[in-house]
Amino acid sequence: MASSEEEKRVAYCKEHNVHHLFELLASRLLVERPANPFDYLRELLVNVEKSEKKKAHDPTLIPSVEGSDGKPLRKLTLGTFGINNAGKTTIISALGGCIEMNHVPTVGFSPSRFQMEKFDLCVFDLGGGANFRGIWGHYFHDCHGFMFVVDAAADDAIIQESLDVLRGMTQHKYARGKPLLVLANKKDLKSFRGVEVVPDEFLKEILQEGSLYRVVPSCGIEEDKELEKGVEWLLDVVMKDFDTLEELVQRHTQEVKAEAKRKAEERLAAIRNSA
């Protein structure tokens, strides 16, 4: 009974992104330190609720889109990652033609969809808080390529943290071998330090041999040709090698499903043995 109750609690947390929500509330509260934390949290919760109502939290639940010939378009998924306040959501919003400067930090899985001639493109970002990054790996298998956003106007400590996180991400078995676009973000700020914050030697060291990558400066609060060209490069690379990448995605997805099934069977066996 205890195990069953625990599973219900875990399922509830996943369904409503409870752990992500708590992390967001705590981190924003400690950063802003408002005079009245209760009023601040109430307003923040309202903003988060409005934002989250527009989102799906599971890529497998996103319905297929049909092309002009009536056949389902092939799904192409790009994952966008980076630590908190790097500008991930603002970048994706700008790509969709909606420039917003005051985004609520992402809670959970936040997808944006773009219909192309032959592909149904899904670009998503995930919360970048330190306590949340552990869940990133649960989404890597579904990606054909990656964007990683670095706050290139930040101080040395923040940039080093970003590089450390990028290193960890690229070592994941479901991320290796897939194309990578690194965005040195916030080029509109005076403190912008250029694409040099992500050295080419560093990328060659951490990426699997033969992996395709590019680093471009970016800004998500105004029209940005460099950002557009960078994303066009990533899409071009993925589309040219789509069959190979799709085979990789399908294989990784089957591995993830098999592992989930194995763990579920183990839990069920443990419950039966304890009865």
Q: Where is the binding site, in residues?
A: 82-89, 106, 128, 185-188
Residue ranges for the known binding site for Mg(2+) are 89, 106
Residue ranges for the known binding site for GTP are 82-89, 128, 185-188
Check: CB of residue 90 under 8 Å from CB of residue 47: no
Q: What is the dihedral of CA 238, 125, 114, 69, to 10 degrees?
A: 60
